[in-house]
Amino acid sequence: MIESYINHISYYLPEKILTNEDLATEFPEWSVEKIAKKIGINERHIAGEDETSLDMGVKAANQLFEEYGVQADSIDYLLFCTQSPDYFLPTSACIIQDKLGLRKSCGALDFNLGCSGFIYGLSLAKGLVASGIAKKVLLVCGETYSKFLNKSDKGNRTIFGDAASATLISSESIGLSAKIGQFDLGTDGSGAENLIVKAGGMRQPELLNEEIKDDYGNTSSDADLFMNGPEIFNFTSLNVPKLVENNIQKNELDMDDIQHFVFHQANAYMLNHLRKKIKVEKDRFPVRMDFCGNTVSSTIQIALRTLQDENSIKSGEKILLAGFGVGYSWGAVTIELK
């Protein structure tokens, strides 16, 4: 079987920054210290009014090309993960292919996933490489959840930031040289309405209900992102520890064989809870989201690239990656740095 490796990761953050001080000014009942302590975020980047996930994805990909000397015409397949596409059709990946100057013989497709999107994207990329369909796969993730957030939704506005990332996966052991191991993936659509934007699609094209306020004082309408925080917390608490256990077993490893557990950077409170449930020490459970917030499908990549820049990960180490959220959808994979 042809092995596959994560070679390079780059990311893009929009210029506009929303700080905790800005939020505390809008919502006086929230203090800067309270936000930072509970959420673990100091600032988040917000896409410009005319800036889309597609735009940011192009910038992240070009950043990767420039940083690592990757030639655009060497890419065999483009995967684009987003839940905020420019259009219903055509697919954003086709437009990105043109903007990046990729070959016309390059495959390109979108897939719609949120916080588990990177893990699913890696599984698709590994399959493309292993089957010989592609030698080099460019996985781009881009999200602008800020455009789904009601301005009076103080809870979600403290959490989410916009970003895009680009990851190169190939059969070559170069760059980061992270060999992609075995996956565990899961789905439970019964939880769909606990994290949803109801209006805008074919099921409900138009806004049907006025704004409502929940028990925590957060305001939203059917056109805004709705998140049932307690149900999402229960979902992750129930499924993620089993996900970690299963993936370690599938890769024929023990907990002690994993040097780092890099989870989707949801928020500090949830991550700390999950860390305790799987009984992992803080120094093996990096959290890198204070400067960008929860960027949905790009959080793991941003954390990995940050750890790489810090020289906090090194050759020979094994890292378990886990994503989970909207869908419900979850996935994990263990990678090994060569």
User: In the beta sheet, which residues pair with residue 5?
Assistant: 170, 179
Tokens of 313: 């990960």
What angle is formed at CA 243 by the lines to CA 256 and CA 192, rounded to 5 degrees? 155
- Selecting among 115, 247, 267, 292, the annotated active-site residue is 115
Q: Give all strands (DSSP E) within 92-191, no chain letters.
A: 107-111, 136-143, 163-170, 178-187
Q: Active-site residue 45, yes or no?
A: no
Residue type present at position 311: N
- CA–CA separation, 231 and 233 (whole Å): 5
- Contact at 8 Å (CB) between 173 and 217? no
328 φ, ψ (degrees, to nearest 5): -60, 150
- CA–CA separation, 16 and 248 (whole Å): 40
Residue length, the chain? Answer: 338
Q: Active-site residue 209, yes or no?
A: no
- Selecting among 7, 194, 218, 294, the annotated active-site residue is 294
Q: Active-site residue 106, yes or no?
A: no
Q: What is the dihedral of CA 166, 170, 172, 174, to 10 degrees?
A: 10
- CA–CA separation, 274 and 213 (whole Å): 29
Nearest Cα to Cα of residue 333 among 111, 119, 188: 119
- Selecting among 8, 45, 260, 264, the annotated active-site residue is 264
What angle is formed at CA 319 by the lines to CA 65 and CA 112, rounded to 5 degrees? 60
Nearest Cα to Cα of residue 132 among 306, 324, 291, 3: 3
Q: Please report the sign of the dihedral spanned by the C-alpha atoms of residue 261, residue 265, residue 271, residue 272.
A: positive
Element (H, E) at 319: strand 318-325
Active site residues: 115, 264, 294
